[in-house]
Structure formats: C-alpha cells, structure tokens
Amino acid sequence: MTTANEDAKFEQLLRRMEPHSKLRRAWSLTGGVSAQVTALEIEQPDGQTRRLVVRQHGAADLAQNPHLAAAEYRLLQLLQAHHLPAPAPCYLDLSGQIFPTPVIVVEYVEGTPEEAPAHLPDLTRQLATHLARIHTLSAATADLSFLPQQENRVAQTLQDRPAALDATFDERQIRAILDSLWPLPLRNQAVLLHSDFWPGNILWQEGRLAAIIDWEDAAVGDPLADLSNSRLELLWAYGRAAMHDFTRQYQALVPLDVSHLPYWDLCAALRPIAKIATWGLDPPTEKRMRARLKWFISQTFDKLSKGD
C-alpha cells in the first residue's frame, strides 16, 4: 500500500484530472525497474469505479532525457490512434507542483505477464504478430521525430567502454566486431521500436495479449533491433524452441533483409553483460540466464564465422 503522504499527493493529482471523482485506494505495482508505478482506484460522480496507473520515471532515465514523460505520453496517444494494444493516456502533469518529477496517468489494463504458458507456439505467434504491428509505424505513417535513434544508443554503449571487459561473455570480441562496423548501413526501413519487448512488459487475459506496457525506451531504427532483443528475452524466459519459433513467425510476417541480424544479436547481448549481476536474481535464475546468454553469444559467433 501507499503512505498517507503519497495518498494526499494522488488526491491532489486526481482533483486536477477529475475534480468530482474520489480516490478510493492506491497501491504500488511491482515489477517496475526504471519507473515508480502506482495503481489508483477512483469513484466517479455516477458511482462507477475506474482504475488508473500513475507512472513516475526514475532519476537515471530523466537525466538522459528530461522530456521523457512528455515523449512517452505523446507516443501513447499515437499508439491509441493506430489501435495498438497499449494503455490509453489520460493525463500528463509537467508542473512539478505535486510531484518533483513529471507524471503520466494511463488507464489500468487488466492482465498479468505469462510466466508458464500452456501453449508456447500460440504465445510466440501472438508476440510476433504484435511486434510486427508495432513495426508498421514508420516516418511514412506517423511523426516519430520526437523519439531517439536506436543506432545512436548503440554508439553510446560502444563509447561507454568499461575499464574491465567481461571475458565470461567474450565482451572484448563483441565490442571489437561492433566497433569495426558501427554504424551499420540501414538495410530495412526505420520504424518504431518498443526497445524492451519482453514477457514482463506483456499483459495477458485468458490466453490473449491484452496490452504492451512500459514504452519509455521507445526509439526509431532497424526492426531487427527489436527482434534481436526479444529473441534473447524469450530465450531467457522460455528457452531455445520459443526463441526460434518467435523468430520464424515474425520473419513470416515481416519481409526483411536479415543479413545484419547477428550484429543486432550482439547488440542485444552486450546490453545486459554489465547489468545481470545487479538485477537481484536468485542464484539458480542468474545461473540459468548466464548460461543462456553465453549460448546466445556463441551461436551468434558461429553464424558470423560461417557467413550465415
């Protein structure tokens, strides 16, 4: 539950949004890493109840992009206009008068992440279908100029070279390959990228995908960037068969030049190398994820050596 001081702030926020509604209760939602997420249950003047979610971005993300909240709110409006399954934006508070940082309020979506799916091929099919739908948004179909470029993010990651490279994951070799090639020539149309399309950001209801959440990392770039990140995440969550099924299903929907997929796989692998130890995982889970990441990197090196 939330504190009395927090509830008072949420009541102030509600008075700005819906002056005649009342706050029934507020509670923190678990699972958020980069943002503080709180659910509100309110009573509207007609007696109906409504649930909302308040998102407050973390200091690290705001330091990189002080306008992150406004950008995410604008993106959610765009997603609604294109009928993509994302939470509907309700309110944006940039005043700093209630909370010290910008606040986004979105509709609460009923659903939970799927940890143990009964039928993996159907789950991966739905994920592939919705990722393909996201990637239909490009500069030709929507104004994405307010979002960062994915290739610049990778360039920054390569530039921010740690003093000690992780030999366990062949980090030196990964960086050497990417350093020699970056930026990659764009062989596919640049599109909207979720950039964190993984099972924890997908809500399900009765076996159907209900919503894709947490869009603060969205960017513009080669769709292979999203595909690679999701491949690794599905490997971690469900294993090799799920990763391969998802990849095949996505490629059947989206005709792409996939010659650069191994390089984007290396980009996806590079991101968690320095972070995996900080995620607070229990020892068996961390051991399994490390083993699967090593396999992911190894099979990518094999593809590059064979020229696949």
Residue 44 falls in which region: left (phi positive, over 0), alpha (psi -120 to 50) or beta: beta
**What is the model's pTM?**
0.94
Tens-level pLDDT at each residue, the chain (308 residues): 788 889 999 999 999 999 999 999 999 987 556 789 999 999 999 999 999 999 999 888 888 888 999 999 999 999 999 999 999 999 999 999 999 999 999 999 999 999 878 899 999 999 999 999 999 999 999 999 999 999 999 999 999 999 999 999 999 999 999 999 999 999 999 999 999 999 999 999 999 999 999 999 999 999 999 999 999 999 999 999 999 999 999 999 999 999 999 999 999 999 999 999 999 999 999 999 999 999 999 999 999 998 76
What CATH architecture applies to the domain 120-306? Alpha-Beta Complex (3.90)
Assigned CATH for 4-107: 3.30.200.20
Sequence-separated (6 or more) residues with CB below 8 Å from residue 155: 182, 183
Helix axes 223-238, 261-273, angle to 10 degrees: 60
Compute the distance between CA of residue 304 and CA of residue 308 in angstroms, rounded to an integer: 6
User: Could you count the other beta carbons within 10 Å of the beta carbon of residue 82?
Assistant: 14
Selection from 226, 308, 221 nearest residue 265 by Cα: 226
Sorted by where each begins, the domain ranges of the chain are 4-107, 120-306
Sequence-separated (6 or more) residues with CB below 8 Å from residue 270: 157, 171, 174, 175, 178
Compute the distance between CA of residue 187 and CA of residue 300 in angstroms, rounded to an integer: 19
| Strand-pair partners of 294 | none
Locate 186 and state its tokens: 């764009």
How do 191-193 and 22-28 pair as beta strands?
Answer: unpaired
SS3 of residue 94 by DSSP: coil
Domains 4-107 and 120-306 share a fold: no
